[in-house]
Structure formats: structure tokens, C-alpha cells
Amino acid sequence: MTSRERILAAIQHQRPDRTPCDFWAEPPSWNRLLAHVGYTDRDRLLAELGVDVRHLQADAPPDREIGDGVFQNFWGERFVFRPTPWGPIREDGKGALAGEIRLANLKSFDWPTPDCLDRSRLVEQCRRYDDYAILYGLADIWQRPGLVRGWEDFFVDMAQRPEWVHFLCRKFTDFYLEDYTRAAQATGGRIDLYLIFSDVGSQHGPLISMKMFSEFVAPYLTELIDRIHEIGGLALYHSCGMIQPFIPELIGLGVDVLDPIQPIGEMMQPERLREAFGGQICFHGGIDMQHLLPHASPEEVETEARRYCRVLGENGGYILGPAHLFQPDVPPENILAVYRAVR
């Protein structure tokens, strides 16, 4: 099978020739791993690891420094860059609309339009990665609105000013509905997977109630999933945390692939996920980023990766990967061990 055939078979719950895999890493993690292997060619490394997905994004306006080492992107998210031995890593803070007390100020904010993204390189990139499954985008319909507003204000808004939350979620949803439509048109429908992320889970359970999920997340998620399916793609939804209570709803909304299935507690273990949801959704990720990957031996990492492939991927329905982007504290040997499990 080609990589693309392997990914599509797994998503359709058909048995591929081997478990397909994906690769997600923070920039410092990339730097550390490339220094370990002794070259700088990312495509070469992904090919040698047997990674089946290539990630594409449109070029966005550059971040700008607004003072005291704080940067702001085109959405109004604000963050600093913390040093690591392998390069800086982003750390989010309160966004540009934190502390606002008038809806009019939210409405008058300098909101971006889909015209600000440059999609001109997508066709050439699709051609270069013809044999691979292609994942596009960085859409969000709930979490990044919360980052721009500031989490504390955003959670108060959900309880006291729901129209403010709907205004923000509407802004983001409309932007990405158009962005994904334009990307599909530009590439002639070649994109296989479209990313949606909104973290709705914590270490111990949902961040919000099912009622709030149904009001503030599900309607916008449904719109974006429906558009992705209309343009011939598949929806990959990312949420960290203990999100098991949301999974039946996500299946009902049409999510095709669920990432990162963070193994927090018994209900998020692969055996329990297979028992409850096997055959209904394709799982993606799962290899523990908090304890296993930073601290275990390469042999232990490979054993755990084989476990996930066996439990979730024996007959399709699973794409191997980390339970979040690889972080800088993960030894390169352990990253390589993940992918030995499928080779």
C-alpha cells in the first residue's frame, strides 16, 4: 500500500498492510531529533520513520512583538517564547480581548479574513507528497476564541454572557469554513484530512458540561465537519484530556478521526476505547507524552506502541502517534522507538 492508501484504509476500518502512523512535534523537538540523526532534511526523516501523513498549512501573517517579549498573532492570541536547550517554545497567556467589558469592543476588534492566508504553495506541496495522506489546516471553533478572550473571562462569558461566546465562535467558524473551502478548491480536492482542534478535557474530566458543549461547541463543530465532508475530506478532531464522555457525541457529529486519545485514567486506555467505540471512529495518537515518552527506555516505548497497534489497529481504525506533539524533554531514542513498532 502507499501511505495514502494505508491511512484511508485504517479510517474506513479496513485492515491495512501495517498500522499507519503520523508525526507531530514542537519545533525544539524537531531540532533535537534532527541533531540526533545528523541531518536537517525533515522529509528524509519522516520517510525513514515510515510516517504516512504530511501536514500542510497556508502561510499566515507573521507574529508581531507588542512589548516585554510578548507576541501577538493575527487572531489576537498572545504568548511568550520560553527557552529550551533546543530552541524556544511557545507559552500562551491572556489574549488581546482579555478584560474587555463591552461587546462592542469585541465587535470592533481588527478581525482577520481568510484573505490573509497565502495558499499559493499548496498545489506544489500536494504534488510533492502525492503518495502520502495530506492533512491541512489549524482550525479552531472554541479553544482559540477562549485564548483571545482569556480563559477566565471566556468561562465567565459562557455562564453570564453567552452571546459573547457565540460571537467569538462564529468569527472563527466562518473564517475556517471559507479557508477549508478555498484550500480544497486550490488543490482540486487532493487534501484528505482537515484538522479541527478545541481542547475540552482536563487531566481529570471534561472542562465544560455536556450542556455547555452542546451549546457552545457542537453547533460550530457540526458546521465545520459538514463542510469538510462536502468538499471531499475527512475530519480529524483534536482534544487533549479525559474526553471519554464526549466521544459518543463526537461520533454523532461526524468526526472521522479522534486525536490524541491521551491515556488519562482507565476510561482512556486503548482496551476500554476499543470496547466502547471500536468500529465507530478511527483513533489517532495515544502514546503517553507525560510519563512514558520522557522517562521510559526505548524498549518500553516500543512495547507500548506495539500494544496500541495490536489493541486498536489490528483491523484498521487506528493511526499510531504521540498523545500530543512530541515535547523537547522526550529523548530522540524514544521517538525513534515509537516508529520501530510499525516497521
CATH number of residue 195's parent domain: 3.20.20.210
Total domain count, the chain: 1
Find cell 468561562 and name the residue: 155
Alpha-carbon dihedral 201, 205, 210, 216, rounded to 10 degrees: -20
In contact, 313 and 19? CB cutoff 8 Å: yes
pLDDT reported for residue 188: 97
Q: Is residue 225 part of a domain?
A: yes
Positions in the chain whose pLDDT score sits under 50: none
In contact, 97 and 75? CB cutoff 8 Å: no
Q: Is residue 270 part of a domain?
A: yes
Q: Is residue 104 part of a domain?
A: yes
Q: Is residue 196 part of a domain?
A: yes
Q: Is residue 74 part of a domain?
A: no
The HSE-up count of residue 263 (CA atoms within 13 Å, CB side) is 21
CA angle 14/20/24 to nearest 5° reads 140
Q: Is residue 288 part of a domain?
A: yes
Q: Is residue 298 part of a domain?
A: yes
Find cell 463542510 and name the residue: 227
pLDDT reported for residue 343: 82
Q: In Å, what is the CA distance from 44 to each residue of 50, 76, 303, 325?
A: 10, 35, 25, 19
Question: Which residues constitute the domain of residue 35?
Answer: 3-60+94-340
pTM: 0.97
Q: Is residue 304 part of a domain?
A: yes
pLDDT reported for residue 182: 98
